[in-house]
Structure 1
Amino acid sequence: MRKFETGGTSMNYGFKMLAIAAAVSTFGVGGVRAQSGELVLYCSANEDWCRAMAESFERETDIAVLMTRKSSGETYAQIRAEEGQPRGDVWWGGTGDPHLQAAQEGLSAEYRSPMLEELNDWAVRQAETANYRTVGIYAGGLGFGYNSDLVTENPPACWADLLDERFVDDIQVANPNSSGTAYTLLATVVQLMGEDEAFEFLAQLHNNVSQYTQSGSAPIRAAATGETAIGIVFMHDAVAQTVQGAPIVAVAPCEGTGYEVGSMSIIEGGPNPDNARIWYDWALTPEAQEIGATANAFQVPS
């Protein structure tokens, strides 16, 4: 998790992210040759994006994809539990910190894709930090979104605004035990406020939280349906709800915020290592990275 400063309203930021994601298509490689067999994919991005990636890869390679979608924390726990007898081949998507932890523990395999030289610097730094046991595939800023039908006056613009007593039991956020999104929130407020003030902030925020969800994007889906007023999420998830017609306003908090580097890793000792490397290279192509926008996933591609 890294910090960047923001200010003002967030819809401009959210739609900038959307525009960047839609526009990135300038680097390229040749087509993927036909293969056979299967690939066991653990996916921690949103389910529609996971499914679209798997289906596109199957069409292009004739490799059958067995896909399971879980949050970053759940997937990391599963890979760790399967150490020595891994069942998965590739872990694609989700916040970068659990990927880095898996790399440090030797749960992911070293692989230097020929696509590395085509990637943004921040994606390559993720690979270098992990000794090439993971790589950055997208970036996304943390923030929150609110339902404008439910919050009609003095909408929140800052982290501090979320402590307002009018939002008691009207905020949802993910559980840091299962979600990389929530872990990024913890790291963000500690960096912004210092440890003592950050944990005081989180204690006060708890009074307004109605539910700690398992999935990082679930809070904004709840806000979109009116189940809650505010969801703390990565801003691209809020933008996705707006694009689909929900009355959601995305907010980049005025104090500043943090961001994720979504990552991809090959699982050490997985059953189909050759197909894992084929997926890895393919997933870094511009054609594969453009799939996100078709599934309303508006992260910034690597």
Structure 2
Amino acid sequence: MKRFVKAATIAVAAVSLASVAACGGTGGSSDDPNTVTLYSADGLADWYTPQFKAFEAKTGVKVNYVEGGSGEVVSRADKEKSNPQMDVIVTLPPFIQQADKKGILGDTVPADADKLPDTAKAPHYVSLANNYFTMIRGTSVNPKPQSWNDLLDPRFKQRIQYSTPGQAGDGTALLLLVQHVFGEHAGLDYLSKLQTNNVGPSASTGKLGPKVSTGELSVANSDVQMALAAIANDKMAYETFAPAGPDGKRTTLALPYFMGKAANAPHADNAQKLIDFLMSADAQKELAGAAFGVSARTDITATGPNADAFTKALAGVDIWQPDWTDVNNRFDEIVAAYNKATGQ
């Protein structure tokens, strides 16, 4: 899970999954023909807000926005399959692949699908915004950790925390990346050793950033888009970094926000309208300026200080593209092995 939406800035019905479960609703009625319900992993609120306003002004359709962790939104949609409430979902891999495997998603083809490369689209989902995993460290931490092995230093005892693999998209990405960098079994051994310094499980990636900023934590996990937005907009006192592996190389993995249309969307026409709108050139051009996002469209090149900051964060870093279908097929096995290795 990433950061929560600031209620004062959202002009649409926006609630967390916890409050949805408590009140039994999504901030709007699924019977209203002039609504569309979006379940989304958090992190894009600064971009969503103006886009939802523009969408309503153009179409007359209000967006009921439900925000939660990457795994949470899929879990809720799955539980509601007998009585669908969701029209569109946005989440990170491998959770979008999970949703697809569970039969939650239907055909998802935006109006400008020809502007997307093959790596940014599948029959049931498309890349809404490109993004990448990162670690963050407090600006006052000295000396600065530069490698994964640096994080094993006793000075970081109970000063490191990462979101829980299997629950959070960024936490799952950390597990996969560490196994890619060290090797599958050696990666689990590394994470077992890191437990001495790890505060413990966290379902929310977004809750960790403020702890790093205040000095409660020295290091945590995040993703480039969310971290840069928090540094710029919330004045967080931390910086992104890609730890070096045993070979000295710095590596990250691609972690895009994927969007899919619900297989049994209560408002299928409105769902298509929202997907087309959010994937349109006009909306995608605003990703960088509003939320440090990067469009997957081949006809859009982000410019400006936010785009420059994003490029700088990835300078000199190798980008790994996991086989998300394989990850999804082995998901339970991967998480179980992690839990056994770390005693979770």
TM-score (normalised: structure 1): 0.79
- SS of alignment partner, residue 67 of structure 1: strand
- Determine if contact 1:89/1:276 at 8 Å carries over to the other structure: yes
Report the CA distance between 1:121 and its aligned residue.
Answer: 4.0
- Determine if contact 2:159/2:217 at 8 Å carries over to the other structure: yes
Question: Of the candidates 199, 223, 243, which is equivalent to residue 253 of structure 1?
Answer: 243
Matched, 1:115 2:107: no
Instruction: Tell me what 1:298 maps to.
Output: 292
- SS of alignment partner, residue 109 of structure 1: coil
Instruction: Tell me what 1:264 maps to.
Output: 259
Report the CA distance between 1:74 and its aligned residue.
Answer: 0.2
Structure 1 residues 146 and 67, CA gap change in structure 2 (3 angstroms): same
Structure 1 residues 300 and 232, CA gap change in structure 2 (3 angstroms): same
- Determine if contact 2:108/2:126 at 8 Å carries over to the other structure: no
Cα deviation code 1:103-133 (max 9, x no counterpart): 1222101132231111244313xx1xxxx11
Matched, 1:138 2:135: no
Q: CA RMSD in A?
A: 1.9
Report the CA distance between 1:294 and its aligned residue.
Answer: 4.5
Instruction: Tell me what 1:95 maps to.
Output: 92
Matched, 1:230 2:224: no
Question: Of the candidates 177, 182, 202, which is equivalent to residue 193 of structure 1?
Answer: 182
- Determine if contact 1:97/1:180 at 8 Å carries over to the other structure: yes
Instruction: Tell me what 2:278 maps to.
Output: 283
Counterpart residue identity of residue 53, structure 1: Q
Instruction: Tell me what 1:163 maps to.
Output: 152
Cα deviation code 1:217-260 (max 9, x no counterpart): 32223212333221211123222233233321210222322221
Question: Of the candidates 221, 228, 238, which is equivalent to residue 210 of structure 2?
Answer: 221
Residues of 1 paired with 2:198 and 2:116: CA distance? 38
- Determine if contact 1:145/1:235 at 8 Å carries over to the other structure: no
Structure 2: 5+ residue stretches without partners: 1-32, 246-250, 297-344
Instruction: Tell me what 1:28 maps to.
Output: none
- SS of alignment partner, residue 127 of structure 2: strand
The answer to which structure has the higher strand fraction is 1
Between the aligned residues of both structures, percent identity stands at: 26
TM-score (normalised: structure 2): 0.70
Cα deviation code 1:35-88 (max 9, x no counterpart): x71001111132444434333322332101111111110011111111122111
- Determine if contact 2:147/2:243 at 8 Å carries over to the other structure: yes
- Determine if contact 2:209/2:236 at 8 Å carries over to the other structure: no
Structure 1 residues 49 and 169, CA gap change in structure 2 (3 angstroms): farther
- Determine if contact 1:174/1:215 at 8 Å carries over to the other structure: yes
Question: Of the candidates 202, 205, 221, which is equivalent to residue 194 of structure 2?
Answer: 205
Q: Give the alignment of 1:8-23 within 5 angstroms.
A: none
Structure 1: 5+ residue stretches without partners: 1-35
Counterpart residue identity of residue 75, structure 1: V
- Determine if contact 1:221/1:241 at 8 Å carries over to the other structure: no
- Determine if contact 1:235/1:252 at 8 Å carries over to the other structure: no
Counterpart residue identity of residue 257, structure 2: G
